Amino acid sequence: MTAHNHTPSVAFGDTSPMNGGGKNASASALPEARRDTIKPALMTTSQRFASAAGAASARQRPAPPLRGFAARRLIGVDDLSDGDIAYLLDLADHYAGYLMRAAPAPRRLAGKTQINLFFEDSTRTNMSFELAGKKLGADVIVVPVGASSVHKGESYIDTAQTLAAMGADIMIVRAKQPGLHHDLDARLNCVILNAGDGAREHPTQALLDAATIRAQFGTLNGRVIAICGDIRHSRVAGSDARLFKRLGAEVRFVGPRHLMPEDDQFTDISRAHSLAEGLDGADIVMGLRMQFERMGEDGRDAARGYFEEFGLTHETLKLARPDARIMHPGPMNRGVEIDGALADDPDRSLILRQVFYGVPIRMACLDALLTRGE
């Protein structure tokens, strides 16, 4: 197990495989219910999660923030108070305990209606919101946008309004139109949760990334996090940077100048234009997808020579701290921004752990926004 300077403050403690301690976990560490159902290919990852179950299951439901859960919607990280953020991370760890034991979670959202309305493609986010709502007992509808009246010319607002009229309590919306989420928040009588809006925000991705880092290193406070690649077109980079800073991390943007945000944006975040400079002393190296679809016509040129200079590999990860870990929100473009062997290396990569945390973090967000922790 890798030595860490920080005392873990989260559910998994320092016995946790999420802290690297589960590397040698045997199949017998799996709860009975899981042993038969987990496919061999997933064994390693699942074993790590499963053997943390003992520690995580002891984690009590956290009390809501002293003055109550403040956020009434979740469109950007700044909708959350510091108390909200701490509560959501603790609540996610509480729910992670249920998932790791394959135990049913309390049906706190029974009778509530959740609508997933994704006008852009999604695998992880859409499915993990669906699973999160179902685990908590909500009635969940995933709108098949491709087969909806959007293709008959109905506006996004009208589509959302129609669905809200069916009695939605919460609507999970992904769309690139600027301002759409705020318009919906103003017009609809349900909670609006942003599942990604163009290149601006993706707050639940930032929360699940923070939960993943906390499980690995105990805290984000004082940790150095290098966010690498196509920052300019990434909503994940923006939400991550905002949230990680609030949790006390040192955040750096690393990449070529043409993939950096405008100079007047994120002025409090340092920028490095080489991996040698940007990864020096980093605990976490966060790769980002080259978001060609947001780049316009000359998008493919942006990737020319990129891997040679900025590709994340076992070799380039040596520029970071010896115990550094790699993360990526997915979907990955192997060989474009990250080497497949590094992404798949369970000793260095937290990528599947990020996916795992997507479910409990989204359970926490749905629960907090709909019940306010009461």
- The answer to whether 120 and 82 are in contact (CB under 8 A) is no
Shortest distance (Å) from residue 335 CB to ligand NCD: 16
For ligand NCD, the closer CB: 34 or 289: 289
Shortest distance (Å) from residue 128 CB to ligand NCD: 9
The alpha-helical segments, DSSP class H, found in the chain are: 32-35, 43-50, 53-57, 82-101, 124-135, 156-164, 180-187, 203-217, 235-246, 275-279, 299-302, 306-310, 314-317, 340-343, 351-371
For ligand NCD, the closer CB: 4 or 124: 124
Shortest distance (Å) from residue 108 CB to ligand NCD: 25
Provide the sign of the torsion angle of the four alpha carbons 334, 238, 352, 342, taken in this order: positive
Q: How far apart are CA 345 and CA 347, in angstroms?
A: 5
Q: Closest by alpha carbon to 194, among 21, 47, 321, 75?
A: 75
Q: Which helix (H) or strand (E) holds 193?
A: strand 191-194
Shortest distance (Å) from residue 168 CB to ligand NCD: 22
Q: Which residue is nearest to ligand NCD (CB)?
A: 289
Residue by residue, DSSP assigns 247-303 as TT-EEEEES-GGGSPPTTSSTTSEEESSHHHHHTT-SEEEE----GGGT-TTHHHHT
Shortest distance (Å) from residue 359 CB to ligand NCD: 13
- Give the footprint of ligand NCD on this chain (CB under 6 A): 124-125, 196, 202, 205, 235-236, 289, 291, 329-330
Shortest distance (Å) from residue 79 CB to ligand NCD: 18
Shortest distance (Å) from residue 332 CB to ligand NCD: 9
For ligand NCD, the closer CB: 90 or 201: 201
Q: How many CA atoms lie within 13 A of 222 on its CB side?
A: 7
Provide the sign of the torsion angle of the four alpha carbons 258, 178, 208, 120, taken in this order: negative
Contacts with 222 (C-beta within 8 Å, 6 or more apart), sequence order: 6, 248, 249, 250
For ligand NCD, the closer CB: 48 or 235: 235
